Structure 1
Amino acid sequence: MWRWIAPLLQLNPGPRRSLYAGVAAVPIVVGQAAGRPGVGLVASIGALAALYGGFGTAKQELAVVSTAAVGLTASIAAGVAASGHPLAAVFVTTVWAVLTTVVCRVLGARQPGLLMFVLVCAVGTTLPSALAGSWILGVAAAGLFATVLMGITVAVRDAVEHGSVPAPPPPYWSVGCCRWRSSSRCPRGR
């Protein structure tokens, strides 16, 4: 029985997630500084677009993350359109789940797949429609920020891997311990 459960508990390697936390924190800080913490919190939803990136070249990342940002912006817009009407909210969220399932399957969306789009639509149904423009623009701006930041990060990563930009020096502890290591493993070539 354990051999069927073990794959469910296994964590697959993925890109570093610390960058995504930073991308999500920026809209929150900007909203707080502008005196609109609610808009900042909702805008941080747009930063979830960065979760779809981290696996390809800079060009692929820009395409994937920008597509996710547009999808998240459309999701919040669909949700806000149905806010204030419980039956409409259920209907819109259901239709949105079906549409995003089809689109994610056709485009071959990476993890987290359609989950974020449906979640953002559902969150949008709970927001007051009086500030619909603020919600939608905030999510779009955070998605744009995530796209630019992921594009820059992946471009720098690719440049370092291909040798056009020198790699950062090794940490001081690896250079200092070369005295007892063999010369082939020493970063300074001793």
Structure 2
Amino acid sequence: MTEKGVIHGRFQVLHNDHMKYLLAGKSRCLHLVIGITNPDPASTRDDPADPKRSLPTANPLTYFERYVLVRSAMNEAGVSDRSFSVVPFPINFPELYRYYVPLDAVFYLTMYDNWGQKKLELFRSLELKTEVLWTRPLDEKGLSAGEIRERMIHDDPWEHLVPFSVALHLKRWGIPSRLRSLASRS
């Protein structure tokens, strides 16, 4: 087990497969730093490896909302507050990483597509220690936050796909309505 690990994601919205990923990272280190990518519009950049990730409809939640979701879901999973941190992580701005995450940590990631490969190459080019938690074909990725957002837009059942605490927050904040509003404008 290593002392520090870094793991990242947009978590738009945090779902049960995200939790498998976060808990796999946590099982490998004493303290896990969870980086939330695309924390704000200024820290979001279009990328041909994943062209939809910067669209407004793909980013309905604020950084703070995602911070609350990650913390509550990790606590719900029994992870102590002392053993993880949640920080912004401007994935498309590697020159800023040192301001947000410990660069001497192991950077965990998963591989499904070109976007995962691009991040692995980027991390290695920066001489960061990396560990691929798993590699799977895209059709075996499992849950997709985009599909869950679509379920919310169309008022289809989605609550069973996210941790209980996440569903409570999303309903209380009116996220399904927010998504419907965003979708009607695009």
TM-score by length of 1: 0.26
Structure number with higher helix proportion:
1
Bigger Rg, structure 1 or 2: 1
